[in-house]
Amino acid sequence: MTASAPTRTVVDLSHLLSQASHVLTTQMAAAFTEIAITPREYCVLFHAQEAERTQIQLAKISDLDKTTMVVTVDNLEKAGLAERRPSSTDRRARIIAVTEAGERAVAEGMKVADRVHRDVLAALPEDQREAFVSALSGLVGGHLSTPVESEHAVRRPRQKI
C-alpha cells in the first residue's frame, strides 16, 4: 500500500527562516571577503568598540563559544585589528581593545553589512519592505525572543560567520 504525502496546514516557518538565515549568512561571508575579515570578526570588533568588554562578555554578545572566541581574538590580534589589554576597572580582567586599523575595519564592515541588508530588502517590492522588517522585529522581540528549554538538546547549526 502506498501512502500519500502529508499535506501541511500551516506554512513551514522553521524551513523558511532557516533557509533565509543560511543564505544571508553565506552572502554576508562572501561580501566580507572584500575587506579581508569575517562577519564573526566584524561582530566582535563592533561590540568591542562600543564599550570596554572582556573576551567572555564579547563571546556572550556575539553568541560564540569560548574556543571560537579565543581563535577569533587571536586572528584579530595577528591582523593588528585588536589587542588584549588590562581592564581599567578590574586589574584581574583583560579587555579586547580595538586598534585604529580595527576601527577602520568596523567602519568598512558597516558599509558591507548595510549593502548586503539593503540588497536583501531590495529583493522585496518596496511596499513590503517596512512591513517585513517590522513583522520580523516583532517576532524576534516578542514570541521568538527567548529559546525554550527542552529535554532534547537543540543543536544550532554551525555558523561560518
What does DSSP say about strands 82-86 and 94-98: parallel, antiparallel, or unpaired? Answer: antiparallel
Segment 114-125 shows an average pLDDT of 98
| Domains, the chain, with CATH or none | 21-139 (1.10.10.10)
Task: Determine the Cα angle at 44 with ends 117 and 114, to 5°.
Answer: 15
Task: Identify the residue with better confidence: 156 or 152.
Answer: 152
Give the three cell numbers for residue 39: 562577519
Q: Tens digit of pLDDT for each residue in 95-106?
A: 999 999 999 999
Which residues are CB-neighbours of 44 under 8 A, at least 6 positions away? 58, 62, 64, 69, 72, 73, 76, 82, 96
pLDDT at 126 over 80: yes
pLDDT at 31 over 70: yes
Q: Tens digit of pLDDT for each residue in 43-95?
A: 999 999 999 999 999 999 999 999 999 999 999 999 999 999 998 888 888 89
Residue 129 has what pLDDT?
Answer: 97
Give this prediction's pTM.
0.84
